[in-house]
Amino acid sequence: MTRGSWTATIALLIFTMGTSIVTPLLPLYQREFHMTDVQVTLLFSTYSGTVAGSMLLLGNVSDRHGRKAVMIPAMVCISLASLVLGFADSVPLLYLGRLLQGLAIGGFLGVGSALIVDHAHMHRRAWAAMVAGLAFRLGFGLGPGLAGVVAEHSDEPIHRPFQGHLLLMIVAFAAILATPETVSRIPRAARAAAPRARRIQVGVPAGQFRAFALFLAPAAFLLGFLDATLLSVVPLYMVRELGVTNLAIVGLVGFLVLGSSGLTPLLARNVPPRTAVLIGTSAGAAASLLVVAASGLDAAWAVVVAAGAIGLLNGLTLQGGTTICGVSVPIAERGKLMSALYMCAYSGTVPTIGLGYLSDAIGITRALGVFTAGAVALALFVRLVGGRAFREVVPYAEPRVTAS
């Protein structure tokens, strides 16, 4: 990869750390601000509600105005989020910080990944795409991992992790300012002459709906559901039910869930995409059983093991799903199908709000039992119903033009 690819990778790694710092701090927020379980899960999910829309809108903007024209404002936004959360003394400020994080990551993640690939040499672009995926998943994982350590040894545990990220953003700004732009700004006249280019492309292409609705959509939803539950409900469960007092262990769970999935492309690059989705969903749901079993065993280590396994398996699901989207439709349809896949994944965070309600009503251990039952049911649906509807991956082939 080129120097531009590496500087953009540094910026992406630091940027994504800021969005997931909140995970090991959730038990502290609950204690400090007297929040119910549903308020905590709603705080976590608030972020996801703003991601999808900003990702779809700003990805299109970057194609017309340039990558950095979107990325720099997004970096300002994530810095403001860390500033707000780094000094937050009320619940409304926590929600404001999470909203700003969602807006920021939606504007940076896809565009930042594209900038890394843009700078790579043509024969290294597949490798650059894999590095981009590894960087953002590792960044997401390092956020809670480092935040747990900082919070555990800090006199202001709910503030210091975000203040530290604010300082790291100075390095990210320097890296991105040193990275050359790769997309020329489209003149206003050219944009007016091609209004179709301004349309936001999202949806399922004709002929792909059945396979998407029965196979890819529920698999992506399950991925998001597993991720979100381990990052929002499980930290409360570890502190209250398993007696974990070391926030670094809570942060380790977040690191394993998010960071280990970045290793999947390196470990399972030759697994066929349909098989990857089937293995990832089935084994991931099975691994969630360990989370509930931890209560009976009185063993926090079971949650740590489950987090590592679910992280790797979710990476397998994501790898298979994105590969299917990439090869099964023409290039003009690829973006909107990929966007639909990610929207399904982010929508998987919504049920955690329901788990919060259940936790307040029947207890957190029983609520996690419902989570496990739902995960297993979704995995069975993907395997038994979706697997039959989508029996093989058929790569799209451009129609041949024959001379008359």
Q: How open is the CA angle 209-59-97, to the nearest 5 degrees?
A: 105
Reported as a pLDDT band with limits 50, 70 and 90, residue 126 is: low
Comparison of pLDDT for 86 and 191, the residue scoring more: 86
335 versus 100: which is more confidently predicted? 100
On the question of pLDDT at 62 being above 70, the answer is no
Same domain, 142 and 242: no
| 238 three-state secondary structure | helix
**Is the residue at 188 inside a domain?**
no
| Domain contains 397 | no
Name the DSSP letter for residue 50. Answer: H
Number of domains in the chain: 2
The predicted structure's pLDDT at residue 253: 95
Q: What is the pLDDT of residues 294-305, one digit of tens each?
A: 988 888 999 999
Based on the fold, state whether residues 231 and 337 are members of the same structural domain: yes
**Do residues 144 and 210 share a domain?**
no
Q: List, for residues 312-335, the tens digit of each pLDDT value.
A: 999 899 888 877 776 666 655 555
CA–CA gap between residue 220 and residue 172 (Å, rounded): 30
**How far apart are the C-alpha atoms of 273 and 279, rounded to whole Å?**
10
Claim to verify: residue 228 and residue 291 sit in the same structural domain: yes
Please state, rounded to an integer, the average pLDDT across all residues of the chain.
84
In this prediction, residues 164-191 reach a mean pLDDT of 79
Residue 396 lies in a domain: no
CB 263 within 8 A of CB 315: yes
Q: How far apart (Å, rounded) are the C-alpha atoms in residues 356 and 234? A: 11
DSSP-assigned states of every residue in 134-145: HHHHHHHHHHHH
The confidence score (pLDDT) of residue 221 equals: 94
Residues 6 and 114 in one domain: yes
| Range 382-388, long-range pairs (CB < 8 A, 24+ positions) | 382/215, 382/218, 382/219, 382/222, 382/277, 382/278, 382/281, 382/282, 383/278, 383/281, 383/282, 385/214, 386/214, 386/215, 386/216, 386/218, 386/219, 387/215, 387/278
Query: For the residues 278-307, what does the mean pLDDT come to?
Result: 92
CB 352 within 8 A of CB 41: yes
Residue 396 has pLDDT above 70, yes or no: no
Q: Is the pLDDT of residue 188 over 60?
A: no
Lowest mean pLDDT among 280-284, 337-341, 394-398: 394-398
The percent of residues above 70 in pLDDT, for the chain, comes to 82
Model pLDDT, residue 256: 95
Complete DSSP assignment for 176-188: HHTSPP-SPPPPH
pLDDT value for 198? 47
Tell me, yes or no, whether 162 lies in a domain.
yes
Whether residue 132 is predicted with pLDDT greater than 90 in this model: the reply is no
- Position 213 pLDDT exceeds 90: no
Whether 167 has a pLDDT exceeding 70, the answer reads yes
- Asked if residue 173 is part of any domain, the answer here is yes
Q: Is residue 399 part of a domain?
A: no
Contact 35, 29 (CB under 8 A): yes
Range(s) of the domain holding residue 230: 202-390
What phi and psi values does residue 142 have, to the nearest 5 degrees? -65, -30
Binned at pLDDT 50, 70 and 90, residue 184 comes out as: low
Average pLDDT over residues 268-278: 86
Determine the average pLDDT of the residues in 242-271: 89
CB–CB of 77/103 below 8 Å? yes
Do the domain assignments include residue 186? no
Residue whose structure tokens are 């970096």: 75
Within a domain: 191: no
Q: Are residues 118 and 210 in the same domain?
A: no
| Predicted local distance difference test score (pLDDT) of residue 343 | 79
pLDDT at 393: 62
pLDDT at 404 over 50: no
Whether residues 172 and 247 fall in one domain: no
pLDDT value at 193 more than 50: no
Is 155's pLDDT higher than 50? yes
> What pLDDT score does 191 carry?
46
What is the average pLDDT across 84-88?
Answer: 96
Separation between Cα atoms, residue 199 and residue 57, nearest integer Å:
9
Residues 245 and 319 in one domain: yes
- Rounded to whole angstroms, the Cα distance separating 363 from 295 reads 12
CATH number at residue 335: 1.20.1250.20
- Together in a domain, 264 and 347: yes
pLDDT greater than 50 at residue 197 = no
- Whether pLDDT at 279 is above 50: yes
